[in-house]
Amino acid sequence: MPSEFDLIRRHFTRTPRHTVLAVGDDAALLQPRAGMQLAVSTDMLVAGTHFFADTDACDLGWKALAVNVSDLAAMGAEPRWAFLALALPAPDEDWIAAFAEGFFACAERFGVDLAGGDTTRGPLTLSVTIAGEVPPGSAITRTGAQAGDELWVSGQPGLAALGLAALRGEATLAGAARTRCLQALQRPQPRVGLGKALRGIASAMLDVSDGLLGDLGHILDGSQVGAILEAGALPTAALRATATPEATWHRCLLAGGDDYELLFSAPPERRGQVEALSQALHLPLHRIGTLNPEAGTLKLREHNGTLVHLTRSGYDHFR
Ligand code: ADP
Ligand code: MG
């Protein structure tokens, strides 16, 4: 049986590109670029809670890093270094090799060095810490939104949740729709370029991981504003194309989770800049509503103009 050190050397040691000292010593040495602030975040994925234990190891490796990269994107920061803490039930080398392949594919895609970690025996759990850089004063937090700002979301939220529903046998998906939803679930694409480009434009931002409404609630609470969403402006095209019942995809859109799209607010006079960014990045950005001074309230303007109250039924792990 390979020792912990053999496993780390064989599978988790790659030549770093911008790290003074990476895997192998008691601590890593990181040198941020001159004048940059560090943005740091940790996310844990537990088998049975955040993913099925039989999930493809390569997909899991990608996702374990991608969800952390997404947290930095949501701050407008550039990801640079990751730390990987792994609890494994048994050292299955094929599994570890596939996991590492997915992890490093994501690391290369987003310019991240794996700088260290920890490996131990235990119930399958993956914890990634990520560190990146942002110029002082330009990080985009959840607290800067103002009444009157417009609310935007990137891409197509809901697809990942629909993919999960299909895996659970709660929805039927076929052909290209199934492929697209499973891809969204298993290979999320963090919006790093968008996050960075929104510095100086977005007033508040987060990445949608627990559902659009639930996560929007964090901006409303953080910024002490309310929101009215426009039913007619919500992105629905790709969800309709899945040929699932409207009630199913509608729930996935508003309260699904695992989207890793960016939800942000921006003053109306920035609208042109946001639209130009959408063009430049070839990424749809949808203006889905506006913020108002009624702190904490969440309403939807239906197609016929009626205003209805919404609950924040985003997924809450302690409910
Ligand atoms: P220590 O006992 O000093 O904490 P470890 O044996 O835990 O050292 O780790 C040895 C080296 O391997 C350290 O540099 C650590 O950061 C790195 N490391 C351990 N596990 C991983 C992993 N899963 N991925 C990346 N680096 C790892
Ligand atoms: Mg250790």
Q: Which of 7, 8, 30, 121 to mutate to test the pocket of ligand 1 (most atoms within 8 A of CB)?
A: 8
Return the SS3 of 304: coil
Tens-place pLDDT, residues 92-109: 999 999 999 999 999 999
The answer, yes or no, to whether any atom of ligand 1 lies below 6 A from the CB of 116, is: yes
Does the pLDDT at position 265 exceed 80?
A: yes
| Mean pLDDT, all residues of the chain | 94
Backbone angles phi, psi at 227, to 5 degrees: -140, 145
8 alpha carbon, closest ligand: 1
The answer, yes or no, to whether any atom of ligand 1 lies below 6 A from the CB of 92, is: no
Domain boundaries, the chain: 4-134, 150-309
Among the atoms of ligand 1, which is closest to the Cα of residue 4? 6
- Equal CATH topology for 4-134 and 150-309: no
Q: Does domain 150-309 match CATH 3.90.650.10?
A: yes
Q: How many Å lie between the centroid of ligand 1 and the Cα of residue 28? A: 10
Instruction: Collect all residues with Cβ–Cβ distance below 8 Å to 297 and sequence separation of at least 6.
Output: 220, 226, 227, 309
Q: 265-296 burial string, b = 16+ CB within 10 Å, else e? A: bbeeebeeebeebbeeeebebbbbbbbeeeee
- How high is the pLDDT of residue 319? 40
Pairing of strands 307-309, 298-301: antiparallel
Q: How many Å lie between the centroid of ligand 1 and the Cα of residue 129? A: 13
Tens-place pLDDT, residues 163-210: 999 999 999 999 999 999 999 999 999 999 999 999 999 999 999 999
Does the pLDDT at position 318 exceed 70?
A: no
- pLDDT band at residue 261, thresholds of 50, 70 and 90? very high
Give the HSE-up count for residue 83: Cα atoms under 13 Å, Cβ half-sphere. Answer: 19
Tens-place pLDDT, residues 39-62: 999 999 999 998 888 899 999 999
CA distance 161 to 171: 10
- How high is the pLDDT of residue 90? 86
Does the pLDDT at position 74 exceed 50?
A: yes
CA distance 220 to 136: 24
Q: How many Å lie between the centroid of ligand 2 and the Cα of residue 9? A: 14
For the entire predicted model, the pTM comes to 0.94
Q: Does domain 4-134 match CATH 3.40.50.970?
A: no
Among the atoms of ligand 1, which is closest to the Cα of residue 114? 25
Token pair listed for 314: 């985003």
